[in-house]
Amino acid sequence: MESRNNIYALVVAGGSGTRMGSKIPKQFLSLNGREMIEWSVHKFDSNSRVDRVIVLVPEQWIAHTDSLFYDRSEVLVTAGGETRNDTVINGLKLIDERYGIDDDTVVLVHDAARPLVTADLIDRTIDSMKENDAATVAMASTDSIAISENGKTIDSCPDRDTIFMIQTPQAFKAKLFRKLYRSKSQESRAKLTESTRLFAENGYKVGIIEGESRNMKVTHPGDIQILEMIYRNSGGKRK
């Protein structure tokens, strides 16, 4: 991490909306002896093209997260925001304050709950920024989908082979994201459940990078066991 590539990774681990309560947020649960967030951060931290990794966690988890990365000067920890993109904005703010953001600054955004992301997938995401202003990893859907405004009856059904399930990493130009996001109303911001839609809606080309099953997001109780199986069967850390 000596040279400056102007590429930063945001590892997103739940905005402040994540309630701690009695339960530990999933990104802090153990997977093969390390907290899930450690695996996710490590994947970006060990990529020589990534300058810094910003880890965004709920306010009350900052101290704990700091302790996980206490000896890694290239890993910064800060608080997430209310929504996914508010969290991204908080990450950009920190980058801007510390290192400055210019027209070419690229950020990668990754869900901490996708700990089995591969080095290859991160490389392909970075590479795709040569041709695009934004890009996202996504998987072709194996399920049929219906669109319904009222949730009661079907409005339309897109062809299954045109449907892509959005994963992470995503990559985009930081300055452009901030400009586009600022121009949006509160209402249209609320509809952005990820970051690349903002670019697509404004006419920018958003590249699709073919995802991998092992990059699945931990959502359901059984998912951690599945990831542990995948991890063990695939050569583990070397990927």
Give the binding site for a copy of itself (CB under 8 A).
132, 136, 138, 140-149, 151-166, 191, 193-194, 196-197, 200-201, 205-208, 213, 217, 219-220, 222, 225-226, 229
Take residue 222 and report the two structure tokens written for it.
């059984």
Measured between alpha carbons, how far is 137 from 158 in angstroms, rounded to an integer?
Answer: 20
Minimum distance, C-beta of residue 211 to a copy of itself, in the bound complex (Å): 11
Q: Pick the closer one to a copy of itself by CB: 4 or 147.
A: 147
As measured in angstroms, the least distance from the Cβ of 191 to a copy of itself is: 5
Question: Minimum distance from CB of 109 to a copy of itself (Å)?
Answer: 12
Nearest to 133 by CA among 104, 165, 110: 104
Closer by beta carbon to a copy of itself, 60 or else 183: 183
Query: Whole-number minimum distance, CB 193 to a copy of itself, in Å?
Result: 5
Say how far apart CA 199 and CA 87 lie, in whole Å. Answer: 17
Measured from the CB of residue 174, what is the shortest distance to a copy of itself in angstroms?
A: 19
Name the residue nearer to a copy of itself (CB basis): 11 or 137. 137
d(CA 105, CA 98) in angstroms, rounded, equals: 13
The Cα 99–Cα 97 span in angstroms is: 6
- Which CB, 99 or 164, lies closer to a copy of itself? 164
The identity of residue 116, as a single letter, is L
Nearer to a copy of itself, 87 or 196 (CB): 196
- Give Cα separations from 70 to 10, 64, 77 (angstroms): 17, 10, 10
Question: Is cis: bond before 158, omega within 30 of 0?
Answer: no
Rounded Cα gap, residues 9 and 230, in angstroms? 24
